[in-house]
Amino acid sequence: MMIPRRTLLGVALLGGAAALSVGLVCTPTTANPGAQARIGGAAPGFTLTDTSGKQVSLADFKGKTVVLEWTNHDCPYVRKHYNGQAMQGLQKKWTDKGVVWLSVISSAPGEQGFVTPEQANKLTTDRGAHPTAVLFDTKGDIGRTYGATVTPHMYVIKGDGVLAYMGGIDDKATTRLDDLKTAKNFVDTALDEIAQGKPVSTTTSRPYGCTVKYQS
Amino acid sequence: MRRMRSAAIVLLVLLAVVGWHTPLRAAAPADDLVKADLLAEPAAIAPGQTFWIGVRLRMKEHWHTYWRNPGDSGEATSITWQLPQGFTAGPIQWPTPNRIPVGPLANYGYDGETTLLTQITAPADLAPSADVPISANVTWLVCEKECIPGEASLSLTLPAVAAGQTPLEGNAGMRSLFEAARATIPQPSPWAARMDVAPDTLILRAAAKGLKPEAIRSAQFFPFSETLIRHAEPQTVAVTDAGLSLELPRSALTIGTPKDARGVLVVGEVIGASTARHAFELGDVAIATAAPIGSAGMILQAALFALLGGLILNLMPCVFPVLSIKVLSLINHAGQSARQLRLHGLVYTAGVLVTFLGLAGALLALRAGGAEIGWGFQLQSPIAVAVIAYVLFAMGLSLSGVFHFGYSLQAVGGNLAHRTGLSGSFFAGALAVVVATPCTAPFMGTALGFALTQPAAVSLIVFLALGLGLALPFLLLTLAPQLVRRLPRAGAWMETLKQALAFPIYATVAWLMWVLGQQVGPSGLFAALMGLVLVALAAWSFSIWQTSGIWGRRVAAAVAIASVATTAVALAGLQRDRVDASPTTQAAAAAGIEPFTQRRLDELRAENRPVFVNMTAAWCITCLVNERVALSTDAVKSAFAAGKIAYLKGDWTNRNPEITRILERHGRSGVPLYLLYAGADEPVVLPQILTAATVLQEIDRSLQRRADLTTSAKE
């Protein structure tokens, strides 16, 4: 399902003007073709556009711990984590400590979870979220490279660029708000362990949630 | 009374349907997405009874709910039971799922309609006349492209009755609904399964021996674990003599060795013009790591166990005489130089190790080819068993003094300093291994079991350790000549001991003949026993050759060669007389099932007996499933018995022209074929996919027709 680079570039150039005119930023995404996200390996690099139209690269954050959160605000599982204030809490706790938190939207235009930059900013304000940036992966290339299957699908990358965690956000694969209280949050644990210089104890878990609404 | 109860139940079921609800954000028209209801198979419950309850989910078109492993996303439906005191509910008996592609991902679940069955057991002290309320809280996620969670509280009430008071069947409609729902549950797998683990792929091997590659249209594995495989990627199926294997792309979400490789294997088998889809639950999948996973400590432990096992092997009745003879030869030559002794010890060890390596190499090569074999594989071939028995028998005869073999006491003694003596020691080492092969010593099983899951290099280390253990006692003796001097002095007792040692060997030969008796028919066993006589004849001729003049030698040599040649011919015949000692055949014989022959069928029909004919083959999955779900069920068995129906089973695994003719007569080119002869007229041909209900119905109908015929004949 990887789209050849040449096609990508062509689409990006051709569609650039049209995309801008409908107020949507079509991103010339770059990913190492064939690169796969693997625990203990280098996290695949990327450059994506954020809600202000700025280019954001993984390489910009060398030396910092980076969290990737695949999101779709209408997905019942994502709603559980935002309605329960859990996601925002986690974002605030760790961005305050210098961790970079990138929320990634891979929903294609017309699909659930697809938003314009303005809508994305409004969602951040309305929900009291604290991501470092919200990034658009409209073509889904980065999502596919990382193997993101669901929302919320979580990745933690250490300062040296090594992927330290991938999988679900916690161990309660439900949409019930009550479960937030008893769930074991794998991302929080991984970030704690990285902060203390310890190896990450749980490096993978079953990602749960709604299917990422990729461009088909 | 019963009717009223039934009406009450229907009402309750209706109430349950109406009572379901989906609390959700108001915008979602969730109400039309899933209709859930709770169903019970029996109309009443008796004390201690185990009965089936179903949660039926009916989804709106294009929407689906999920299997126990939802795949790349989604969530399994869950049921929480509220039952009266003393009642217990089992797990959900998940129907075989479908693979639902969602863009670049895949889910496992159910479109349209599914019934999740659960078995509930009533307490033994259930008071009759009590009402039993059964409630279930069901939560699900239903998705088309987008997903909406839902839940329902469902309940129904069943009356309790005393055991045996009333027939406990529900109404016929409910019965067939549950019958249909049960048919969607995967069958327990008839084959052992193994998962070979490599860094990027998993290979699932089901030991479905003898499947025909052209008959397998598709195969798909649904793992229980969400993080075992990449769900959306294609699975590559291969059918070999060893069975069916599926190459599965491994998920990056499981690091190291997966713990749970269980799942459901769905196989599409071609039957005539159509395809039958069979689902098997692989509830016990051995996980074999192809990569070097054993830690140094584990390898060391296995090697140590193998060494110990090898040491103990020396005491086994088959090996002990070989070792003893080597020791006796040492006593005879206690005066030899230490260097000579050491040389013999080392050459003997080399003989043991080289032979072990050869054996291990053969074993590993066969396993790499997909054969499901372990230690003792050499005994699976009747020819190998016979050859080992002949070698041992020849050795026994030599010990008994019938002839003197190259390595025997005097011969070795005479040539100890020469090359022939050395090759004798090497040969003795090789012989020790060959005669050791039928034996297993304590510790050996653990060590070899571990070795066979390891890469070849590690396996060979363990085998070498086993060989070293076997060679060690003799090697130590030769390395420490002072020990040899401690042994008793040479004398006539040695000849007596040697002769006595022949008897454990004869006992081993007798045991091997018994093994052979399990593998071949009576004529094969006779051929093998005649082989023993020929071995004795060859041995005796050899001794004549050793001692007589020129003519005697010629005759003796001719007889020896002729008997060895005849033995070889007898051996070749063994393979042909292999009996199919498969468990099914044995079970069949026990259950009063006769093998099919046209003659037997004609006889039975001449007697005007009803006959059921089952044409099957070991490689036919559909046949196997039909036997499990229908033909070998108690209901069908008792119906056969009650109707005095003779059961003939034709095995088409190998070519059988008689069966082929029957198949052709009924327009079939292959199995399964099921025929029910009610009397002298033409038989009823049953469908190729059976359920117990179909078979029972056909039996009823045929017996009825038969009764009608008999009556009209009388009138």
Return the minimum-mean-pLDDT range out of B10-19, B194-203, B359-368, B482-491.
B10-19
Q: Answer whether residue B515 is part of any domain.
A: no
* DSSP three-state, residue B584: helix
pLDDT in tens, B621-637: 788 888 888 888 888 98
Per the structure, the complete domain to which residue B256 belongs is given by 193-289
Does the distance separating the beta carbons of A209 and B227 come in below 8 Å? no
Count the domains in chain A: 1
B207 within 8 A of B285, measured Cβ to Cβ:
no
Chain pair A-B, CB pairs under 8 angstroms: 72
Specify the pairing of strand B285-289 against strand B193-197: parallel
- Which residues of chain B are within 8 Å of residue A147 when distances are taken between CB atoms? 252
Q: Could you tell me if B321 and B303 lie in one domain?
A: yes
Count the domains in chain B: 5
A187 within 8 A of A155, measured Cβ to Cβ:
no
Q: Answer whether residue A30 is part of any domain.
A: no
- Domain with residue A50: its CATH number is 3.40.30.10
Hey, how many other C-beta atoms are within 10 angstroms of the C-beta on A74?
Answer: 18
Q: Which of residues 58-117 of A touch B (CB under 8 A)?
A: 74-76, 111-112
B160 within 8 A of B131, measured Cβ to Cβ:
yes
Q: What is the DSSP letter of B204?
A: E
Query: Torsions phi, psi of B565, nearest 5?
Result: -65, -45
Does the distance separating the beta carbons of B103 and A175 come in below 8 Å? no
Beta strands (DSSP E) in B72-223 are 78-82, 88-93, 98-102, 105-111, 113-121, 131-143, 147-159, 187-188, 193-197, 201-206, 216-223
pLDDT at B79 over 90: yes
- B688/B685 Cα distance (integer angstroms): 9
Q: Answer whether residue B365 is part of any domain.
A: yes
Which of these, B305, B306, B341, B309, lies nearest to B326 by C-alpha position? Answer: B341
A192 pLDDT tier (thresholds 50, 70, 90) = very high
pLDDT in tens, B237-283: 998 878 899 999 988 887 778 888 999 999 998 887 788 889 999 98
- Which residues of chain B are within 8 Å of residue A209 when distances are taken between CB atoms? 73
Per the structure, the complete domain to which residue A45 belongs is given by 35-211
pLDDT at B31 over 80: no
Q: Answer whether residue A83 is part of any domain.
A: yes
pTM of the predicted model as reported, rounded to 2 decimal places: 0.60
B30 pLDDT tier (thresholds 50, 70, 90) = low
- Domain with residue B682: its CATH number is 3.40.30.10
Q: Could you tell me if B603 and B679 lie in one domain?
A: yes
End-to-end CA distance of chain A: 9
- The Cα diameter of chain A in Å comes to 50
Which of these, B205, B192, B206, B217, lies nearest to B267 by C-alpha position? Answer: B217
Q: Answer whether residue B100 is part of any domain.
A: yes
Does the distance separating the beta carbons of A212 and B105 come in below 8 Å? yes
Q: Answer whether residue B511 is part of any domain.
A: no
Q: Answer whether residue B514 is part of any domain.
A: no
Greatest mean pLDDT among A1-10, B374-383, B568-577 lies in B568-577
Does the distance separating the beta carbons of A38 and B145 come in below 8 Å? no
pLDDT of residue B290: 53
Q: Answer whether residue A43 is part of any domain.
A: yes
Torsion sign (Cα): B549, B552, B558, B563: negative
Q: How far is A34 from chain B (nearest CA, A)?
A: 15
pLDDT at B137 over 90: yes
The more confident residue out of A153 and B374 is: A153
Q: Hey, of B63, B79, B147, B250, which one would you mutate to test binding to chain A, going by the most A CBs within 10 A of its CB?
A: B147
Q: Could you tell me if B400 and B533 lie in one domain?
A: no
Classify residue B175 as exposed, middle or buried by CB count within 10 Å of its CB (0-12, 13-18, 19+): middle
Does the distance separating the beta carbons of B226 and A214 come in below 8 Å? no
Q: Could you tell me if B402 and B544 lie in one domain?
A: no
The more confident residue out of B456 and A127 is: A127
> Out of B73, B103, B252, whose CB is closest to A216?
B103
Picking from B129, B150, B185, the residue at the C-terminal end of a domain is B185
Picking from B531, B560, B579, the residue at the C-terminal end of a domain is B579
Does the distance separating the beta carbons of A76 and B147 come in below 8 Å? yes
Q: Answer whether residue A192 is part of any domain.
A: yes
pLDDT in tens, B293-315: 567 777 888 888 888 888 888 88
Rounded mean pLDDT of B488-501?
Answer: 78
Q: Which helix (H) or strand (E) holds B236?
A: strand B236-240
Does the distance separating the beta carbons of B147 and A39 come in below 8 Å? no
pLDDT of residue A1: 41
B529 within 8 A of B512, measured Cβ to Cβ:
no
Token representation of residue B473? 């006692």
Q: Could you tell me if B245 and B341 lie in one domain?
A: no
Q: Could you tell me if B640 and B699 lie in one domain?
A: yes
pLDDT of residue B12: 43
> Out of B103, B227, B253, whose CB is closest to A211?
B103
Could you check whether the bond before residue B442 is cis, i.e. omega within 30 degrees of 0? no
Q: Answer whether residue B654 is part of any domain.
A: yes
Q: Could you tell me if B73 and B125 lie in one domain?
A: yes
Give the residue from chain B lying closest to A151, CA to CA: B73
- Which residues of chain A are within 8 Å of residue B145 when distances are taken between CB atoms? 111-112, 211, 213
Q: Answer whether residue B198 is part of any domain.
A: yes
Q: Could you tell me if B312 and B432 lie in one domain?
A: yes
Q: How far is A13 from chain B (nearest CA, A)?
A: 25
- Domain with residue B121: its CATH number is 2.60.40.1250
Which of these, B307, B294, B297, lies nearest to B458 by C-alpha position? Answer: B294
Q: What dihedral angle (degrees, nearest 10) is formed by the CA atoms of A71, A76, A82, A83?
A: 170
pLDDT in tens, B212-236: 888 888 999 999 998 899 998 899 9
Q: Could you tell me if B380 and B467 lie in one domain?
A: yes
Q: Answer whether residue A216 is part of any domain.
A: no
Return the minimum-mean-pLDDT range out of B367-381, B490-504, B526-540, B664-678.
B367-381
Q: Could you tell me if B559 and B593 lie in one domain?
A: no
B162 pLDDT tier (thresholds 50, 70, 90) = confident
pLDDT of residue B170: 55
Q: Could you tell me if B151 and B22 lie in one domain?
A: yes
Does the distance separating the beta carbons of A150 and B72 come in below 8 Å? yes
Picking from B448, B469, B500, the residue at the C-terminal end of a domain is B500
Rounded mean pLDDT of B460-486?
Answer: 84
Return the minimum-mean-pLDDT range out of B30-39, B297-306, B515-524.
B515-524
Specify the pairing of strand A153-157 against strand B34-40: unpaired
pLDDT of residue B411: 41
Give the residue from chain A lying closest to B139, CA to CA: A174
- Which residues of chain A are within 8 Å of residue B146 when distances are taken between CB atoms? 74-75, 112, 210
Q: What dihedral angle (degrees, nearest 10) is formed by the CA atoms of B368, B370, B373, B375?
A: 0
Q: Answer whether residue B512 is part of any domain.
A: no
Does the distance separating the beta carbons of B149 and A210 come in below 8 Å? no
Q: Answer whether residue A140 is part of any domain.
A: yes
Token representation of residue B196? 């070979």
Q: Answer whether residue A18 is part of any domain.
A: no
pLDDT at B25 over 50: no
Does the distance separating the beta carbons of A38 and B253 come in below 8 Å? no
- Which residues of chain A are within 8 Å of residue B104 when distances are taken between CB atoms? 1, 144, 214, 216
B575 pLDDT tier (thresholds 50, 70, 90) = low
Specify the pairing of strand A100-105 against strand A133-136: parallel
Rounded mean pLDDT of B44-51?
Answer: 89
Q: Could you tell me if B546 and B404 lie in one domain?
A: no
Which of these, B636, B560, B671, B551, lies nearest to B269 by C-alpha position? Answer: B671
